[in-house]
Chain A
Amino acid sequence: MKTEAYHNRYEYWLAGLLCLPGKKKIRLREMAGGAEGLYRMKQASLRKLPGLTERERAKLEQGQSAPEEELEKMRTYCIRQDIRLILHQDSEYPARLEQIYNPPYGLYCRGTLPPESALAVAVVGARACSAYGRQVAEQVGYHLAGHGVSVVSGMAAGIDGAGQRGALQAGGKSYGVLGCGVDICYPAGNRQLYEALPAQGGLISEYPPGTRPLACFFPQRNRIISGLSDVVLVVEAREKSGALITGDFALEQGKEVYAVPGRVGDALSQGTNRLIGQGAGIFLSWEDFQKELGLFPNFLESSVKIKKLSLEKSERLVYSCLDLSPKNLDELMAETGYSLTELMENLESLREKGCILEVYRNCYIRRAECK
């Protein structure tokens, strides 16, 4: 497992070159007889290499000008920071990625990679998501991880982070594929998740440590998310959403895609509804999804449900008025016909029983059934 001791500084150099696609790196390395050979290759022989564009050659030459100390610096930095480099030729390299169209040459990883033996599901979706979407993602993540499924996502704000947070809450494994170096926490708001992930899964990136999160890296990062997983679940996505890119990659790579359906007018469900229209699987409930994935229900869930049903009549009335989009006190008063004080009391007891969620000041939604 001690991969870091195994690779020399030239391997780090080759893996860190941003301009070359993974496949070309593999071929070049073979032709030059190792990364060191490629680093020391003369310009003349470099020109003779077939299949390199002018731009790529120029970048490669530029890369060669880096002094050896710098190469070594990167290697020691990775080792000191506990970042392992897993190369295409290593036995640890995920088999799932070998099959995709454009596999990354190397993966920088803090923690571990998703195990081959376990099912891996990507939970992805919009960054600016609704409280409902966040809840669904969190619960799916929670259940998946509870069944020993690896939850893969992009550690972004919104759905991605929520799914992973759910997985960690269940004490399971989750893997965050980043669009920047694994030593950078982006977005900064997910600091807690970022710090928890290495111990309960891993942080993965094809970009060398220190790479800033640039917008152009993120679509490419999505191919690794879908590549590392067997099934992709899109929870919420707008008409044009990065999550849909992940969905496209997944279809390209022959993975199964599921989407959470939504109401017709909801901007955040347009993308997912479209996916369903195009033939993606539909996420109807956790139980259904679980069957589709071939997982078996565990005991924990059934026991929680029974406790739920002991609501008083007035509480049930208030609860029945709530749904998954936030409602404020005025709307609830109009619907239930209760006065402010009556409503307050019922909301307070429902809150104590954990049946509702206050998503914004005095705006409530019903807590989704499971968990």
Chain B
Amino acid sequence: MYSIVSTAIVRGIRSVLVQVEADVCDGLPVFEMVGILSAEVKESRERVKAAIRNSGIRLSPKKVTVNFYPADVRKTGTGFDLPVALAVLAAHGRIPGEILEGILFAGEIGLNGELRPTAGILPMVLAAREAGKHTVCVPRGNVREAEIAKGITILPGDSLNQVLAMVEEFHRNPEKFSGVRSMEEISEPPGETLWDFSALHGQKVLKRACEIAAAGRHNMLMTGPPGAGKTMAARAVSAILPSLLEEEGLELAKIYSVSGLFGQREGRFWTRHFRSPHHTVSIAGLAGGGTVPKPGELSLAHKGVLFLDELTEFRREVLEVLRQPLEEGVIRLVRQSGAYEFPADVMLIGAMNPCNCGYYPDRNKCRCSSAVLERHFGKLSRPFLDRMDLTVEVKRPELSEITGGQTEESSESVRMRVQEVQEIQRRRFGDSGILYNSRIPVSHMKEFCPLDTGGEKLLQESFDRMDLSVRGYYRTLRVARTIADMDHADTIGRLHIMESLLYRSMGWKVWERE
């Protein structure tokens, strides 16, 4: 007998539907699976055989052939156990084939027949909805993530036996299962973090830069002596970021689903992520990789903050990997198995010491020679520095500033302001697909960043004086746009440009002129 079941595989953060066919006929009792299968899919056979037996179902010894199509796509992932088991049972005539129609099945099965959570469920559910399926059946552990995709019925599976019963019940009485919860029900608003903006004492310039960076999602680089509060400032930035927009949240949920890290986002769909990989991170760890690429830290920080502490300690080639994604907001990995695109629209915050000992330019403490300084700064390439929109020097605050009872502004009130500025941006960009000032394309510069005469003059003078690159020029303009937005100004004025230039990093050589 023949049967067919729908399932899906994950490629990048998208999913492709795959059909599992089973044929049972007389012959030697062998179980064969074909259709370019990776190791974990081949192992599925052993799990399925044991799970069926341990669920109390005895199958007569017959020849079983399972085929996956399209046959030219490599099948990976552990979600095939459930569809294979159902296809085999249907081919044996244990369940009627028509009750499986229109449903997408995915999930890993244990030897006892229990369904276990699987990576990549969300993209599969979305693909199923697009392909016109009315229902999906996934392990109960994945239900919350599947619920993010609206407009499709979800059947939560606990074990093989329960799935069989449920599917039959669903076939008879589909209305019973149609309850769908809204996004508000499955997620809370972002809670308070441990890190509050009010923890930054004094340091007005730093705080101002943090606010600008958060408002326009610009990249930021902090230099300063050890223990001056760089890491704290980076955390504080993540505390003043407004919640994710719905489309941003969905995209991010897909990335976490594919990485099998969905648990980290459970109940916090609106929170922007703060990722801070250690400086020993590899290229694949940061950018994503593997024979079938999985998202790296860069994508896990999508729409959030990627914080690189001790920037000069990162391997140079690792940092250079960031260059293209920082411009485009996506990373494209090309492997033998095809090209994969992961969203990687991050706000990069870097922190580093200004020299080996950490005290330059305080020459009383710092004895680094100019050659040492040059080597230290040389660890960051000019193109990389060019992409840092705001560079700030953090100086150690005085003890009196920390202990003196001045109350600093809380995250809450700064976040309100940031939110307001972001709404101004969205109103301006309308439906052009741009969300933040840092993403204004060069082609729209004239339209979105009008300059008054004073501003234009200053920018042109500075272009030569500060030896800006063309990229540096446009990035200066984007930051100035955010500063103007914070001022509720339509055109960018001289002061906005001046402040923006204040934060622009030039080649370090300017400072130690020998």
Residues of A within 8 A of B (CB): 127-131, 157-158, 161, 187-190, 238, 265-268, 326, 328-331, 333-334, 340-341, 344-345, 348, 359-363
> Chain A CB within 10 Å — which of B205, B223, B368, B499 has the most?
B205
Take A130-B363, A329-B205 as given contacts and tell me if A157 and B514 are in contact as well, using a CB distance cutoff of 8 Å: yes
> Is B162 interfacial (CB 8 A cutoff)?
no
Partner of A189, one of B208, B364, B370, B393: B370
Q: Which residues of chain B have C-beta atoms less than 8 A from A362's C-beta?
A: 205, 393, 502
- Tell me if A341 and B203 are in contact (CB < 8 A): no
> Is B399 interfacial (CB 8 A cutoff)?
no
- Tell me if B374 and A363 are in contact (CB < 8 A): no
Given A328-B395, A361-B506, A362-B393, 11 additional A-B pairs, CB 8 A = A127-B369, A130-B363, A157-B514, A188-B371, A326-B361, A326-B362, A330-B206, A334-B202, A344-B498, A359-B511, A360-B360
Q: Which residues of chain A have C-beta atoms less than 8 A from B354's C-beta?
A: 360
The answer for the CA separation of A189 and B514 in the assembled complex, in Å, is 6
The answer for the CA separation of A268 and B203 in the assembled complex, in Å, is 28
- Tell me if B368 and A348 are in contact (CB < 8 A): no
Take A329-B205, A360-B511, A361-B505 as given contacts and tell me if A268 and B393 are in contact as well, using a CB distance cutoff of 8 Å: no
- Tell me if A267 and B203 are in contact (CB < 8 A): no
Among all A-B residue pairs, the 8 with the closest Cβ atoms: A130-B363, A360-B361, A189-B514, A267-B364, A329-B205, A157-B370, A360-B511, A128-B367
The answer for the CA separation of A189 and B391 in the assembled complex, in Å, is 26
Q: Mark B385-405, 1 if CB is under 8 A from A, else 0.
A: 000000101010000000000
Partner of B363, one of A129, A190, A328, A329: A129
Write 25 A-B pairs (CB below 8 A) sorted by A numbering.
Answer: A130-B363, A131-B363, A157-B370, A189-B514, A238-B367, A266-B364, A267-B363, A268-B363, A326-B361, A326-B362, A328-B395, A329-B205, A329-B502, A330-B205, A333-B204, A340-B205, A340-B208, A344-B498, A344-B502, A348-B498, A360-B361, A361-B391, A361-B506, A362-B205, A363-B393
Q: Which residues of chain B have C-beta atoms less than 8 A from A130's C-beta?
A: 361, 363
Q: Which residues of chain B have C-beta atoms less than 8 A from A161's C-beta?
A: 514
Take A158-B370, A190-B514, A360-B361 as given contacts and tell me if A344 and B202 are in contact as well, using a CB distance cutoff of 8 Å: no
Q: Mark B168-206, 1 if CB is under 8 A from A, else 0.
A: 000000000000000000000000000000000011111
Nearest neighbor of A360 in chain B, beta-carbon distance = B361
- Tell me if A128 and B366 are in contact (CB < 8 A): yes
> Is B232 interfacial (CB 8 A cutoff)?
no
Partner of A128, one of B202, B204, B368: B368
The answer for the CA separation of A363 and B364 in the assembled complex, in Å, is 16
B interface bracket (residues with beta carbon within 8 Å of A): 20 to 34
Q: Which residues of chain B have C-beta atoms less than 8 A from A266's C-beta?
A: 364
Q: Which residues of chain A have C-beta atoms less than 8 A from B367's C-beta?
A: 128, 238
- Tell me if A268 and B364 are in contact (CB < 8 A): yes
Take A190-B514, A330-B204 as given contacts and tell me if A131 and B361 are in contact as well, using a CB distance cutoff of 8 Å: yes
The answer for the CA separation of A359 and B508 in the assembled complex, in Å, is 11
The answer for the CA separation of A234 and B479 in the assembled complex, in Å, is 46
Residues of B within 8 A of A (CB): 202-206, 208, 223, 354, 360-371, 374, 391, 393, 395, 495, 498-499, 502, 505-506, 511, 514
- CB of A165 to closest CB in B, whole Å: 9
Q: Which residues of chain A have C-beta atoms less than 8 A from B370's C-beta?
A: 127-128, 157-158, 187, 189
Nearest neighbor of A162 in chain B, beta-carbon distance = B514
- CB of A272 to closest CB in B, whole Å: 14
- CB of A82 to closest CB in B, whole Å: 25
Nearest neighbor of A236 in chain B, beta-carbon distance = B363
The answer for the CA separation of A124 and B444 in the assembled complex, in Å, is 55
- Tell me if B499 and A344 are in contact (CB < 8 A): yes
Q: Which residues of chain B have C-beta atoms less than 8 A from A187's C-beta?
A: 370-371, 514
Partner of B371, one of A189, A329, A359: A189
- Tell me if B495 and A341 are in contact (CB < 8 A): yes
The answer for the CA separation of A361 and B511 in the assembled complex, in Å, is 7
Q: Which residues of chain B have C-beta atoms less than 8 A from A348's C-beta?
A: 498
Partner of A360, one of B208, B365, B393, B495: B393
The answer for the CA separation of A238 and B365 in the assembled complex, in Å, is 11
Nearest neighbor of B364 in chain A, beta-carbon distance = A267
Q: Which residues of chain A have C-beta atoms less than 8 A from B206's C-beta?
A: 330
Q: Which residues of chain B have C-beta atoms less than 8 A from A361's C-beta?
A: 223, 391, 393, 505-506, 511
The answer for the CA separation of A7 and B499 in the assembled complex, in Å, is 65
> Chain A CB within 10 Å — which of B202, B203, B361 has the most?
B361
The answer for the CA separation of A238 and B361 in the assembled complex, in Å, is 16
> Chain B CB within 10 Å — which of A266, A267, A330, A331 has the most?
A330
Q: Which residues of chain B have C-beta atoms less than 8 A from A340's C-beta?
A: 204-205, 208, 499
- CB of A331 to closest CB in B, whole Å: 8
Q: Which residues of chain B have C-beta atoms less than 8 A from A190's C-beta?
A: 514
Q: Which residues of chain A have C-beta atoms less than 8 A from B393's C-beta?
A: 328, 360-363
- CB of B505 to closest CB in A, whole Å: 7
The answer for the CA separation of A348 and B361 in the assembled complex, in Å, is 21
- CB of A63 to closest CB in B, whole Å: 34
Q: Which residues of chain B have C-beta atoms less than 8 A from A360's C-beta?
A: 354, 360-361, 393, 511
- CB of A25 to closest CB in B, whole Å: 34
Nearest neighbor of B494 in chain A, beta-carbon distance = A345
The answer for the CA separation of A344 and B502 in the assembled complex, in Å, is 8
Nearest neighbor of B395 in chain A, beta-carbon distance = A328
- CB of A18 to closest CB in B, whole Å: 26
Nearest neighbor of A339 in chain B, beta-carbon distance = B204
- CB of B287 to closest CB in A, whole Å: 29
Q: Which residues of chain B have C-beta atoms less than 8 A from A329's C-beta?
A: 204-205, 502
Q: Which residues of chain B have C-beta atoms less than 8 A from A268's C-beta?
A: 363-364
> Chain A CB within 10 Å — which of B203, B368, B498, B506 has the most?
B498
Q: Which residues of chain A have C-beta atoms less than 8 A from B391's C-beta?
A: 361
The answer for the CA separation of A188 and B204 in the assembled complex, in Å, is 39
Q: Which residues of chain B have C-beta atoms less than 8 A from A157's C-beta?
A: 369-371, 514
Nearest neighbor of A133 in chain B, beta-carbon distance = B363
Q: Which residues of chain A have C-beta atoms less than 8 A from B364's C-beta?
A: 265-268
Q: Which residues of chain A have C-beta atoms less than 8 A from B366's C-beta?
A: 128
> Chain A CB within 10 Å — which of B369, B499, B514 has the most?
B514
Q: Which residues of chain B have C-beta atoms less than 8 A from A128's C-beta?
A: 363, 366-370
- Tell me if A330 and B498 are in contact (CB < 8 A): no
Nearest neighbor of B206 in chain A, beta-carbon distance = A330
Nearest neighbor of B368 in chain A, beta-carbon distance = A128
The answer for the CA separation of A362 and B205 in the assembled complex, in Å, is 10
Q: Which residues of chain B have C-beta atoms less than 8 A from A333's C-beta?
A: 204-205
Q: Which residues of chain A have C-beta atoms less than 8 A from B505's C-beta?
A: 361
The answer for the CA separation of A131 and B513 in the assembled complex, in Å, is 10
The answer for the CA separation of A157 and B511 in the assembled complex, in Å, is 14
The answer for the CA separation of A345 and B363 in the assembled complex, in Å, is 28
The answer for the CA separation of A270 and B431 in the assembled complex, in Å, is 65
- CB of B350 to closest CB in A, whole Å: 14
- Tell me if A189 and B205 are in contact (CB < 8 A): no
- Tell me if B361 and A359 are in contact (CB < 8 A): yes
Q: Which residues of chain B have C-beta atoms less than 8 A from A188's C-beta?
A: 371
> Chain B CB within 10 Å — which of A187, A268, A361 has the most?
A361
- CB of A297 to closest CB in B, whole Å: 29
Nearest neighbor of B487 in chain A, beta-carbon distance = A341
Q: Which residues of chain A have C-beta atoms less than 8 A from B368's C-beta?
A: 128
- CB of A237 to closest CB in B, whole Å: 12
Nearest neighbor of A161 in chain B, beta-carbon distance = B514
The answer for the CA separation of A361 and B206 in the assembled complex, in Å, is 13
The answer for the CA separation of A126 and B370 in the assembled complex, in Å, is 12
The answer for the CA separation of A131 and B511 in the assembled complex, in Å, is 9
- CB of B502 to closest CB in A, whole Å: 6
Q: Which residues of chain B have C-beta atoms less than 8 A from A330's C-beta?
A: 202-206, 395
- CB of B223 to closest CB in A, whole Å: 8
The answer for the CA separation of A341 and B514 in the assembled complex, in Å, is 32
The answer for the CA separation of A268 and B369 in the assembled complex, in Å, is 14
> Chain A CB within 10 Å — which of B203, B395, B505 has the most?
B395
- CB of A360 to closest CB in B, whole Å: 4
